[in-house]
Amino acid sequence: DERFESDGSARLGESRLDGRASAEFAGHIRPRYEAVLRSPHLRLADLGFGRPSAKAEARPFSWADRKPLALDWLRLADARISLSADRVTAGSGVDLRDGRLRVDLQDGSLRVSDLRLAYQGGQVAGALDLDARPLHPPVRLRLDARALDLSSLAAVLGEAQHWQFGNGELVLSRKS
């Protein structure tokens, strides 16, 4: 039996994850991972997100420079992961509260659901569906932001000196 299970805590950098996780390597085409995790304070840099790249340089955006996203890695494993965190931080500007999400990955079909978090005085909810199997992968994104403090958000984005904002709401739904 090539199944590994863990119930307890793990530390990644300064982040602590509590819960249960399993990995199954036999009897399936791809490895299968499952986890239900909770963190009091999750730092995205500890997971490899939000770290500055040595090659990163500021360049203006150009549609001519567009390249397809490499999505083959989504077909390497199947996963079902639920994550909740009291606080999620990325650098000095992003400080999220009461975050949670569920990730389901099956044969290259990725679904992020039950995305909920508190940010800049408001609430954000959303979902993402991406199917990496076809040549032109369809993507569906839904974001619903309510009662955001737009002045604070503009400050995080470095635009506070140009605009004055109050509170706002945003509903975004995009399908490609």
Structure tokens at 83: 């994550």
- Kindly report, residue by residue over 25-39, the tens digit of the pLDDT: 988 889 999 999 999
Mean pLDDT of the chain: 82
| pLDDT at res. 130 | 93
Nearest residue to 148 via CA among 140, 156, 158: 156
Cβ neighbors of 76 (< 8 A, separation 6 or more) are 30, 31
| pLDDT at res. 59 | 59
* Backbone phi, psi, residue 63, to 5°: -65, -25
| Higher per-residue confidence, 119 vs 42 | 42
Looking at the predicted structure, is the pLDDT value of residue 102 above 80? yes
How does residue 3 score in pLDDT terms, banded at 50, 70 and 90? confident
| pLDDT at res. 57 | 54
| pLDDT at res. 71 | 87
Mean pLDDT score, 158-163: 51
Q: Which amino acid is at 159?
A: E
| pLDDT at res. 90 | 84
Looking at the predicted structure, is the pLDDT value of residue 19 above 90? yes
Q: 151 has which bridge partners?
A: none
| pLDDT at res. 54 | 45
- Kindly report, residue by residue over 53-90, the tens digit of the pLDDT: 545 455 565 666 767 778 888 999 999 999 999 999 98
Structure tokens at 70: 């490499």
Q: Are 171 and 144 in contact (CB under 8 A)?
A: yes
